Amino acid sequence: MAPAAPRQRPAWAAALARRLAVTAAVLGGLWGLWEGYRWLWSTEGWTRPFVVDYLTMPHIHEMFQRLLEPSRSEGPLLIGLLLKSAAFTAREALAGFALGALIGFTIGVVLHHSLFLQRGLLPFIVASQTVPILAIAPMVVIWLGGKGLPVWVPVAVIAAYLTFFPVTINTLRGLGSADPRALELMRSYAASPWKVLWKVKVPASLPYVFTALKVSATASVVGAIIGELPSGIQDGLGGAILNFNQYYSLEPASLWATNIVAAALGIAFFGAVVGAEKLVVRRAPEHVG
Amino acid sequence: MTHEHAAAAVHIAGVSKVFGKGGTHALDDIELEFQPGEFISLIGPSGCGKSTLLRVIGDLLEPSEGLVRIGGKTAHQARLDRDYGMVFQDPVLYDWRTVARNIGLPLEMMGWDRRRRAERVQAMIELVELGGFADHHPWQLSGGMQQRVAIARAFAFEPALLLMDEPFGALDEMTRERMNIELLRIWGASGSTVVFVTHSIAEAVFLSTRVVVMSPRPGRVAGIVPVDLPYPRVFETREDSRFFELVTAVRELLRGGAPAPVGVEA
Amino acid sequence: MKGLGARALKEWLPPAALFVVAVVGWQQAVNVFDIQRFLLPRPTAIFASWHEQWGELWSAGWYTFQEALWGFAVGCGAGIAVALVLARWRPLGTALMPYAIAANAVPIIAFAPIANAWFGIDQGSKIAIAAVLCFFPVMINVLRGLTSVHPSSLELMRSYAAGNFAVFRKVRVPNSLPYLFSSLKVASVLAMIGAIVGEYFGGALTSLGIQIKSAAALFNFETAWAAIIVACILGIAFYLAVSLAEKLAMRIYPARGAQ
């Protein structure tokens, strides 16, 4: 047993310190793995599974260093540029997320109430996710772009396409998970289906919906980037990726730096949904045994 | 039919259990002796520590003070030697195994070979009268039948001691009374010592050789009521006047009033 | 047999009916609304193109599908292995779980060009991308399945003085199967997508991704759509195969709610 802690330090500070220590340890461990692998492979000259040199595996500090350098010979720092691109992409992703979540939820509600539509549409909804969105993206961009909409709208639509599916599936499952006894109680009040939906089923579905939203948060960012790639949009992260991919042999660290920013964006979206979940859903945690 | 085997005596000395630093005082200085082959019920209101005591006996919880000996060994050693079986209120059967394979689980753990396992499982299925359901899955059975599977599993390796935590709590009254008679029949055939936790006064008196009454906050033994009704006990036993006297004695102890003058140890 | 036939009919009739309605509707809509052919060619035109290039399309499809299949195998295998390790050494598992979840939130799309830099533009890089896409969902779900065992089950095992390995074999692994299969279904779709996305960044001419890209660049949209449909069919087939495996493996589990 640990000796009694000094009474002055509150419990949450200790937990926070521990959490930070673990984070530092894990990040340090990952950094060590990367640099260690790099060092070992380059000194031994191993070529499987791929050759290790400055091109394929830049030093991690080089990637971060690159962020603080100007993106071109003179001009704004790379990190400034990337953050602006990230903001651009984030806007599309957010719009797509909102649109996709709304559509997904609505479809889920509709399918919950109609067994015929469920049986009929669900296979297609599942199949829709096998369509390589990357291939469809340019067509969506041209179609919607031709209608005089700003260029980020079709990208948001593509993000929504990747977002709606998990939300639909989980809404369907969540609505069906309502306690039969609660439903029976509603029946005894002769409650209308609308009331039953909003007072019992939707609250019951929230944990499931939030699980889906966590997946969708990532999917919306992926969708936004994918949408930008073939669309010739320069201002977002997709454009940055294509740009630095072209010049990879000259400046490998830039692409990696872009990846870092993209990863941060994805995680930020995810974290936002987790935070929202904590506020909205208060339920017993899963058994962890 | 299972043959007689060595039943264990249970010796509980000075057992206390406190949860957390300066937290709940679940048990306070419990002293109890159970003779081999006895049927002991632990009864008391919520928070009296009866389930905690059961888990301490079974080495699923460590006492803060005191010790438990089962048949001369420490509780820890008894668990490692697999000297006892447990039945919970939730049957805790594995959905993906058939009834037969659920019953055979402890025997698998003990490394019995297939033929010996099959024989014993068959004997247990007949003992709990679930013949014909060997290849069913738990989710195909009613609550009472599932609990019978759990009991068959617990008795399968002929434990010296059987610990039961409100196994019939989730069943309706009539099924419960039937299961009580079943349990007594199985106990009679096996001869194990049984420690049985329950909320039901009638059940405690009907099943036991002695009833240990506990009081809460902190958990203590309030008194022990020996039950001198003859075995085998039948449905009619519940209508016996002596039965009512004993139930009343237990009830008085539970209410913390003066013990009724019918041969009560305190 | 009669009951079986009636049930199959009930399940397949609605989607089949809707499919027919959709295709006919598509054909009409293109005519009526005069949708430009590069957006949405007529089904008949796509079908004609399909017919013409049958061999090419399907060999490209098979080429890409192999990448998806290998990526699926590697990614899911690694995911299961890591989940087993993290479930066995719990402190490591609890420490790393948030990072795995965060890593799953990283848009893997950014990894595609790097994979090409590492492995060149042949199949290896696409396999790597597909594997990375499959790894995290499978690992997270299997870990969850291995660790969300009811405490009573574990108490029962303790009362049998069961060692860690026995608890794994007899309780945790069977408990995790439903979680495993639902993540495998997700992974099957992701693998195919990953392979095609990888090809878009640079791949062989004989791959589906490049076929789509080059057909679209040449304004040959009927072919592009035909290739897209091939990709869909392969993705759906993969998903159905995993669903079938799930049904077979999970016969012994109680029927769950509507999937």
Which of A50, A258, A267 minimises the CB distance to C110? A258
- What's residue B206's pLDDT? 95
Chain A: give the shortest CA distance to residue C112, in Å: 10
| Nearest Cα residue to B40 out of B260, B227, B233, B246 | B227
DSSP C207: S
- What's residue A108's pLDDT? 93
- What's residue A195's pLDDT? 84
H or E segment and range at residue B17: strand B10-18
Residue to test with chain C: of A134, A169, A225, most C Cβ within 10 A: A134
Q: What crossing angle do the helices spanning A202-228 and A152-175 adopt, rounded to 10°?
A: 150
Number of domains in chain C: 1
- What's residue C256's pLDDT? 47
Q: How confident is the model at residue C164 (pLDDT cuts 50, 70, 90)?
A: confident
Put simply, the answer to whether B79 touches C158 (Cβ < 8 Å) is: yes
Strand-pairing partners, residue B11, are B33, B69
Q: To the nearest whole percent, how much of chain B has pLDDT over 70? A: 94
Among A247-256, C59-68, C122-131, which is the least confidently predicted range? A247-256
Q: Which residue of B has its CA nearest to C150?
A: B92
* φ and ψ of A210, to 5 deg: -70, -35
**Over the stretch A171-230, which tens digit does the pLDDT of each residue have?**
988 888 888 878 888 887 788 888 888 888 888 888 888 888 888 888 899 889 888 887
Strand B220-226: give its sheet, edge to edge: B84-87, B161-165, B193-198, B39-43, B210-215, B220-226
d(CA A14, CA A5): 10
First to last CA, chain A: 22
Six-digit token pair at B20? 């957390």
Put simply, the answer to whether B95 touches C254 (Cβ < 8 Å) is: yes
List, in sequence order, every beta strand (DSSP E) within C65-216.
Answer: none
Considering only CB atoms, which chain C residues are within 8 Å of A226? 109, 197
**Mean per-residue pLDDT of chain B:** 86
Q: To the nearest whole percent, how much of chain C has pLDDT over 70? A: 91
Put simply, the answer to whether C228 touches A131 (Cβ < 8 Å) is: yes
Put simply, the answer to whether A177 touches C113 (Cβ < 8 Å) is: no
State yes or no: pLDDT of C51 exceeds 90: no
**Over the stretch C197-227, which tens digit does the pLDDT of each residue have?**
888 877 788 888 888 888 877 877 788 888 8
First to last CA, chain B: 38
Can you say whether the dihedral through the CA atoms of C96, C101, C103, C108 is positive or negative?
A: positive
Chain C: give the shortest CA distance to residue A270, in Å: 6
Asked whether residue C133 is domain-assigned, the answer is yes
For B94, how many CA atoms within 13 A lie in the half-sphere containing its CB? 26
Chain B: give the shortest CA distance to residue C139, in Å: 22
Asked whether residue C191 is domain-assigned, the answer is yes
Partner A contacted by C96 (CB < 8 A): yes
Q: Whole domain around residue C100: which residue ranges?
A: 65-257
Strands B73-74 and B65-70: antiparallel
Asked whether residue C253 is domain-assigned, the answer is yes
State yes or no: pLDDT of C22 exceeds 90: no
- Cβ(A117)–Cβ(A109) below 8 Å: no
* φ and ψ of B27, to 5 deg: -135, 140
Put simply, the answer to whether C231 touches A132 (Cβ < 8 Å) is: yes
Chain C: give the shortest CA distance to residue B183, in Å: 20
Partner A contacted by C201 (CB < 8 A): yes
Asked whether residue C33 is domain-assigned, the answer is no
Six-digit token pair at C15? 């989607």
Asked whether residue C108 is domain-assigned, the answer is yes
Considering only CB atoms, which chain C residues are within 8 Å of A176? 257-258
d(CA C4, CA C15): 18
d(CA A168, CA A157): 16
Put simply, the answer to whether A134 touches C224 (Cβ < 8 Å) is: no
In degrees, rounded to 5, the angle at the alpha carbon of residue B213 between the alpha carbons of residues B208 and B215 is 160
Six-digit token pair at C56? 């090419």
H or E segment and range at residue A171: helix A152-175
Residue to test with chain B: of C152, C160, C177, most B Cβ within 10 A: C160
Residue A23 one-letter amino acid:
T
- What's residue B214's pLDDT? 92
Put simply, the answer to whether C170 touches B108 (Cβ < 8 Å) is: yes
Asked whether residue C136 is domain-assigned, the answer is yes
- What's residue A243's pLDDT? 81
Put simply, the answer to whether C200 touches A229 (Cβ < 8 Å) is: yes
Which of A134, A269, A288 minimises the CB distance to C197? A134
Q: Which long-range contacts (CB under 8 A, 24 or more apart) does A198-207 make?
A: A201/A112, A201/A174, A201/A175, A202/A175, A204/A174, A204/A175, A204/A177, A204/A178, A204/A179, A205/A170, A205/A171, A205/A173, A205/A174, A205/A175, A205/A177, A205/A178, A206/A174, A206/A280, A206/A281, A207/A174, A207/A281, A207/A283
Partner A contacted by C95 (CB < 8 A): yes
Partner C contacted by B231 (CB < 8 A): no
H or E segment and range at residue B223: strand B220-226
d(CA A226, CA A161): 11
Cis peptide before B218 (omega within 30 of 0): yes
d(CA B148, CA B124): 10
- Cβ(C156)–Cβ(B98) below 8 Å: no
Q: Based on C-alpha coordinates, what's the Rg of chain A?
A: 24
Which of A117, A248, A270 minimises the CB distance to C102? A270
Query: For the purposes of burial, counting CB atoms within 10 Å of the CB of C91, is it exposed (0-12), middle (13-18) or buried (19 or more)?
Result: exposed
Asked whether residue C70 is domain-assigned, the answer is yes
Among A26-35, A226-235, C73-82, C187-196, which is the least confidently predicted range? A226-235
**Over the stretch B207-266, which tens digit does the pLDDT of each residue have?**
999 999 998 888 889 899 999 988 888 888 888 899 999 999 999 988 875 444 444 444
Put simply, the answer to whether C159 touches B108 (Cβ < 8 Å) is: no
Partner C contacted by B60 (CB < 8 A): yes
In degrees, rounded to 5, the angle at the alpha carbon of residue A95 between the alpha carbons of residues A218 and A114 is 80
* φ and ψ of B173, to 5 deg: -60, -45
Asked whether residue C163 is domain-assigned, the answer is yes
Considering only CB atoms, which chain A residues are within 8 Å of C149? 287, 289
Domains and CATH numbers, chain A: 28-57 (no CATH), 80-284 (1.10.3720.10)
Partner C contacted by B185 (CB < 8 A): no
CATH number of the domain within which C177 lies = 1.10.3720.10
- Mean pLDDT (10-residue bins), chain A, 289 residues: 54 81 84 84 75 76 79 72 88 93 94 87 84 80 76 88 89 85 80 84 87 87 85 81 79 82 86 86 50
State yes or no: pLDDT of C41 exceeds 80: no
Partner C contacted by B106 (CB < 8 A): yes
d(CA C203, CA A203): 47
Longest dimension (CA), chain B: 57
Put simply, the answer to whether C252 touches B137 (Cβ < 8 Å) is: yes
Put simply, the answer to whether B86 touches C150 (Cβ < 8 Å) is: no
Put simply, the answer to whether A119 touches C10 (Cβ < 8 Å) is: yes
Q: How confident is the model at residue C255 (pLDDT cuts 50, 70, 90)?
A: low
Q: Which residues of chain B have pLDDT under 70?
A: 1-5, 257-266
Put simply, the answer to whether C161 touches B139 (Cβ < 8 Å) is: no
Q: Which residue of A has its CA nearest to C191?
A: A130
Chain B: give the shortest CA distance to residue C178, in Å: 11
Put simply, the answer to whether A130 touches C232 (Cβ < 8 Å) is: yes
How many contacts (CB atoms, under 8 Å) link B and C? 49
Residue to test with chain C: of B54, B90, B94, most C Cβ within 10 A: B94
Chain A: give the shortest CA distance to residue C247, in Å: 17
Which of C18, C39, C101 minimises the CB distance to A121? C18
Put simply, the answer to whether B94 touches C160 (Cβ < 8 Å) is: no
**Which residues 129-188 in chain C show a CB within 8 A of chain B?**
150, 152-153, 155-156, 158-162, 166, 170-171, 174, 177
Six-digit token pair at A25? 């340890």
Partner A contacted by C46 (CB < 8 A): no
Chain A: give the shortest CA distance to residue C168, in Å: 12
Q: Which residue of C has its CA nearest to B94?
A: C171
